[in-house]
């Protein structure tokens, strides 16, 4: 019987830089910031064959005690269409691989929220945390989870917090995000020219982003070395 590990795992991200971190042998990356583009690309990738689907990348913090760089391995995703459970054995495997390294000090298990538009305000993040109890939020995990469920595929989530719950992002932070998941510099510069006072908050976000990126790079390495990127099941 052909094992699922003979097929690539699909790693779903919202941004191109996250996909670059995730790529490697046995991995097919799918990324887009717009949900319909992401869903279309993901379904095409699933049709080519895969062993499972992982939502990977950055996330906004919801639990107030979590700082930039904290890693979340989700037990479930609470999204626009309801709650989707992740594959428990695979999630346990991912968490164990991370816990076996210094990343364990930055690791949390729990609920991940997913939304359809950027959640940039501290008040909005606090409200979502109160409503769901989720640790963090992103805009791709519900797409990954519903697609996995529709195709009967294992599903997991590994995310790194970039903006803590108590931080409100300036408009410049999202101005340059294109639908395809790449970043355009010109809209960010125009936003800074319009309101230069955003610069301090943008620089703070850049520092948070470095912490998140460091965690993602280290997590990708740890998961690859432990063989945890593929679910331990057969088809």
**CATH number of the domain within which 120 lies:** 3.40.50.1580
Residue 186: inside a domain, yes or no? no
Q: What is the mean pLDDT of the chain?
A: 94
Specify whether the CB–CB gap between 52 and 155 falls below 8 A. Answer: yes
- Is residue 5 very low, low, confident or very high in pLDDT (cuts 50, 70, 90)? low
Q: How confident is the model at residue 11 (pLDDT cuts 50, 70, 90)?
A: very high
Give the per-residue pLDDT at 57.
98
Mean pLDDT to the nearest integer, 169-181: 90
What is the pairing mode between strands 9-13 and 82-85? unpaired
What is d(CA 35, CA 79) in angstroms, rounded to the nearest whole number?
A: 13
Dist CA 209 CA 5 (whole Å): 32
Judge whether 203 lies within some domain: no
- Within-domain flag for 235: no
Confidence of residue 233 (pLDDT cuts 50, 70, 90): low
Q: What is the mean pLDDT of the segment spanning 51-67?
A: 98
Report the alpha-carbon distance of residue 28 to residue 230 in Å, rounded: 12
pLDDT at 142: 97
Q: Which residues form the domain of 220?
A: 4-169+209-226
**Cβ partners under 8 Å of residue 47, min gap 6:** none
Per-residue confidence (pLDDT) for residue 179, from 0 to 100: 87
How many domains are contained in the chain? Answer: 1
pLDDT computed for residue 2 by the predictor: 47
Residue 165 lies in a domain: yes
What's CA 226's distance to the chain center, in Å? 20
**176: in domain:** no
- The answer to which of 5-14, 48-57, 83-92 has the lowest mean pLDDT is 5-14
What distance lies between CA 12 and its chain's CA centroid?
Answer: 8
Residue 83: inside a domain, yes or no?
Answer: yes
Residue 191: inside a domain, yes or no? no
Q: Mean pLDDT across the stretch 190-201?
A: 94
What is the rounded average pLDDT of the residues 70-98? Answer: 97
The SS3 assignment for 209 reads helix
Q: What is the largest CA-CA distance in the chain?
A: 61
Lowest mean pLDDT among 119-133, 159-173, 177-191: 177-191
3-state secondary structure of 66: coil
Asked if the structure places residue 39 within a domain, the reply is yes
């Amino acid at each position: 019987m052909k094992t699922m590990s003979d097929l690539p795992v699909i790693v779903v991200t919202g941004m191109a830089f996250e996909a670059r971190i995730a790529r490697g042998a046995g991995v097919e990356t799918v990324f887009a910031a717009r949900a319909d583009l992401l869903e279309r690309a993901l379904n095409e990738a699933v049709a080519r064959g895969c062993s499972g689907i992982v939502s990977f990348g950055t996330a906004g913090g919801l639990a107030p005690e979590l700082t930039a760089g904290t890693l979340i391995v989700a037990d479930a995703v609470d999204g626009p269409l309801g709650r989707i459970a992740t594959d428990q054995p695979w999630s346990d495997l991912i968490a164990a691989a991370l816990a076996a390294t210094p990343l364990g000090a930055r690791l949390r298990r729990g609920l991940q929220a997913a939304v359809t538009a950027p959640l940039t305000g501290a008040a909005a993040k606090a409200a979502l945390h109160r409503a769901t109890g989720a640790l963090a939020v992103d805009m791709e995990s519900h797409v990954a989870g519903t697609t996995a469920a529709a195709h009967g595929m294992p599903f997991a989530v590994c995310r790194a917090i970039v903006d803590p719950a108590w931080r409100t992002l300036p408009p410049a932070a999202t101005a340059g995000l294109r639908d395809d998941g790449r970043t355009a510099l010109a809209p960010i510069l125009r936003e800074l020219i319009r309101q230069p006072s955003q610069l301090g908050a943008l620089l703070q976000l850049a520092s948070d982003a470095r912490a998140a990126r460091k965690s993602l790079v280290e997590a990708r390495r740890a998961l690859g070395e432990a063989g945890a990127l593929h679910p331990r099941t057969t088809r």
